[in-house]
Amino acid sequence: MKRSWTTIAKLPAILAITAWGSAVYATSQPLGPTTTDVTITHANEYENQLITSLRDIQEQRVDGALEKIGNLVEKNPRFKLAQLIYADLLLAKAGPIRDFGNAFTTTPSEELAGLRSEAQVRWQHHSAHPGAGYIPSNLLRLAPKTRHAVAVDLTNSRLFLFKHRQGEYQLLGDYYVSIGKNGAVKQVEGDKKTPIGVYHITGFLAPEQLPDFYGAGAFPINYPNALDKAQGKTGYGIWLHGTPTDTYSRRPRASDGCITLSNSDLEAIKPLLMDEAIPVVIAEKLEWVKQENAVAQGEHFNEVLNAWRQDWQSLDHERYLSHYSLDFRNKRMDYAVWGQHKKRVNENKEFIVVDLDQVEIFDYPGNKILRVVTFTQKYHSNNYNEVSRKRQYWRLEEDGAWRIIYEGPA
């Protein structure tokens, strides 16, 4: 229709959003196989409609875009980004649009910039969705009882939820999120940054326990973890939580360090996050690899872990201690004190049997030479028996050997 073609000429600002997303992914590392017309199977209904509307604009189907975005605004009037695009499309009938959000002339510039960023990261994600069979490189091994895992890409404002069964991963859904006002890599309390690392959900706070600001509820995570504390990082109260009930979504950088989802998204995934100690990988930018490659790395590292276990059982103190870095430190001991302590303990042993169960292995986000391992340790000796959940941080050292830099209870 002629109207579509003439309207397209008036929409350079909106078209810039779709071009921006395509240009960014054209120069970035590919996530996996993609197509030019991605089927949005892991998005919620509202985002699905938003993205198909933007795609209609890009492909010069403006009438279709206007109808879709109009339906979206009617269904969800709290979706401010959809309102902005709808208003721009209507305004384009009268004349050219000079800027994204031209119809929202009374909206503060900071809020408009946030909405523009939200449009960019939502479009960017759907321009190059991770291919089937690809998972974040951090997920080397999950425990058999761990049924779900979460991975968050802070750069792309995206949370991915995986189902896990017998070493196989299935992407169940991915969701737009908002992160800290000042971006990634939290260091100190009050810096309004979101941490990167491997964490675990520690519980659930229901909406009736919280102010309306947290929306549909909150899942606290165990920041700061042992590594964060060893590195001197401070702060607390990092949660996955919803949005105020009068808000659909927040701009990409809007929280004080938490990861926030729309209430509808949080409600959708809430039942799957109620299991005990769901792992949450938070990365500045996720790297996607073929599932079989990640699993193979996990199996290889499990051999390293078993070598540590076997050398402990051998009662050969030097072999056992060779698995610990000179930089080792836990809450009470450094390498020298730890070595002396373990030597005294093992001198009283006639035998040691150690079994490891429910092993989890993660590549640490942002640090290729660091891995975190969690397992149930069943310890049996002539004078002591114990079952405990343990966590270790291993570092790849200059001689090519993996060694433990921290060990303690999970």
**pLDDT tens column, 79-126:** 999 998 888 888 777 666 566 666 666 667 788 888 889 988 998 888
Closest listed residue to residue 390, CA positions, set 374, 404, 371: 374
**Which residues lie closer than 8 Å to 365 by C-beta, 6 or more apart?**
138, 196, 197, 198, 281, 282, 283, 284
Higher per-residue pLDDT: 62 or 261: 261
CA angle 301, 308, 340 (to 5 degrees): 140
C-alpha torsion 38→43→48→51, nearest 10: -60
Higher per-residue pLDDT: 114 or 258: 258
How far is Cα 63 from Cα 53, in angstroms, rounded to an integer? 10
State the average pLDDT over residues 235-240.
Answer: 97
User: Fold for domain 134-289?
Assistant: L,D-transpeptidase catalytic domain-like (2.40.440)
pLDDT value of residue 61: 83
pLDDT value of residue 18: 61
Each domain of the chain, given as residue ranges in start order, spans 2-127, 134-289, 291-409
- Express each pLDDT in 36-95 by its tens digit: 333 334 457 899 899 998 888 888 788 888 899 999 999 999 999 999 888 888 877 766
How far is Cα 60 from Cα 66, in angstroms, rounded to an integer? 11
Q: Is 32 a residue whose pLDDT tops 60?
A: no
Lowest mean pLDDT among 204-208, 231-235, 275-279, 306-310: 275-279
State the average pLDDT over residues 116-144.
Answer: 89
pLDDT value of residue 131: 78
- Give the DSSP per-residue string, 258-289: -EE--HHHHHHHGGGG-STT-EEEEESS--EE
Half-sphere exposure of 161 (CA within 13 A, CB side): 21
For 331, other C-beta atoms within 10 Å of its C-beta total 10
Per DSSP, the three-state class of 246 is coil
Q: Is 14 a residue whose pLDDT tops 80?
A: no
- Express each pLDDT in 160-198 by its tens digit: 999 999 899 999 999 999 999 999 999 999 999 999 999
For 242, other C-beta atoms within 10 Å of its C-beta total 25
Q: 291-409 — its CATH code? A: 3.10.450.50
Higher per-residue pLDDT: 31 or 367: 367
Token readout for 104 is: 């929202």
pLDDT value of residue 130: 75
pLDDT value of residue 33: 37
How far is Cα 263 from Cα 181, in angstroms, rounded to an integer? 20
Q: What percent of the chain lies above the pLDDT cut of 70?
A: 86
Closest listed residue to residue 237, CA positions, set 224, 246, 225: 224
State the average pLDDT over residues 381-405.
Answer: 97
Tell me what the pLDDT averaged over the chain comes to: 88
pLDDT value of residue 276: 78
CA angle 5, 11, 14 (to 5 degrees): 130
Residue 64 has φ and ψ, to the nearest 5°, of: -65, -40
- Identical fold at 134-289 and 291-409? no
Half-sphere exposure of 113 (CA within 13 A, CB side): 5
CA angle 189, 194, 196 (to 5 degrees): 110
Token readout for 38 is: 């991605």
pLDDT value of residue 152: 98
State the average pLDDT over residues 275-295.
Answer: 94
Helices in 174-269 by DSSP H: which ranges?
A: 226-230, 263-269
